Amino acid sequence: MPTSHALHLSRLTHAWVDRPPLFEIDNLSLPQGQHLFIQGPSGCGKSTLLSLLAGVIQVQSGVCEVLGRDMAKLNQVQRDVLRGEQIGVIFQQFNLLTYLNVEANTLLPTRLFPSRAASAAKEWGSPKKQAESLANSLGLKTSLWRQPVNTLSVGQQQRVAAVRALMGAPQLLIADEPTSALDESNQMEFIELLLSTAQRQNASVVMVSHNPKLAPRFDQLFEMKSGVGE
């Protein structure tokens, strides 16, 4: 398998205990640097798929290669390290630790994984400088830097989460409905900024969303069907 693929999935299925398989993905590949939009009805296993890609849950059957690594062959610790070093994650909401200020939240990945701090330092001089640069391109004022995160609007919080996910130039960004808490006009703007910033860092993006209007901005679209086993 060429390592230039961010993702390579084949005959990947997953089922929770005593349930029929949630989904079956015959073949899905994403070249490095490209952006994938995943769409599908509720309960079709989108979040489970993201958990597999992020290495939070163990692959049951099929092939799941992420950034050239076969997730089925990695143990829990190795998958955690892969995620910590190479992958950024954005949730729908509540991405931030409320007891840290904005700056401390953004710097957390580089403090947890020295390799991320190293790559931030290599490209931008220091993690702090990268955070400022990312904030700038995501339209986040650095005047918010020292504020507690709960004083920020949801839109601002999502931008902080995006800054944090992209710190240390991870190769893959996983976003689970990052815009669903935003209003319509903000959604588009946020996606534009997120994708262009990711592009600048040559990060692949995998995003799940309910909103088909966002799809045209992505290189690939993958449609998940509900309950293949039902």
Positions that interact with other proteins (CB under 8 A): 47, 50-51, 54, 56-57, 76-77, 80-81, 83-85, 87, 89, 91, 93-100, 108-109, 111-113, 164, 176
- Minimum distance from CB of 168 to other proteins (Å)? 11
- Minimum distance from CB of 116 to other proteins (Å)? 9
Q: Which is nearer to other proteins, 48 or 189 (CB)?
A: 48
Q: Which is nearer to other proteins, 64 or 87 (CB)?
A: 87
Q: Which is nearer to other proteins, 108 or 228 (CB)?
A: 108
Q: Which is nearer to other proteins, 25 or 117 (CB)?
A: 117
- Minimum distance from CB of 83 to other proteins (Å)? 5
Strand, coil or helix: what is 25? strand
Roughly what angle, to the nearest 10 degrees, separates helices 114-124 and 76-86? 20
Q: In the sheet where 5-14 sits, what is the strand order?
A: 23-31, 5-14, 61-66, 69-70
Give the CB-side neighbour count of residue 31, counting CA atoms within 13 A. 5
Question: Which of 166, 149, 35 has its CA nearest to residue 95?
Answer: 149
Q: Which is nearer to other proteins, 131 or 216 (CB)?
A: 131
Which residues does 183 contact at the CB level (< 8 Å), separation at least 6? none
- Minimum distance from CB of 62 to other proteins (Å)? 19
- Minimum distance from CB of 122 to other proteins (Å)? 19
- Minimum distance from CB of 96 to other proteins (Å)? 7
Tokens 């991870």 belong to which residue?
170
Report yes or no: 110 and 120 within 8 Å, Cβ to Cβ.
yes
Q: Which is nearer to other proteins, 57 or 188 (CB)?
A: 57
Question: Which of 224, 200, 186 has its CA nearest to residue 35?
Answer: 200
Could you give the CA distance from residue 188 to residue 16 in angstroms, rounded to a whole number? 34
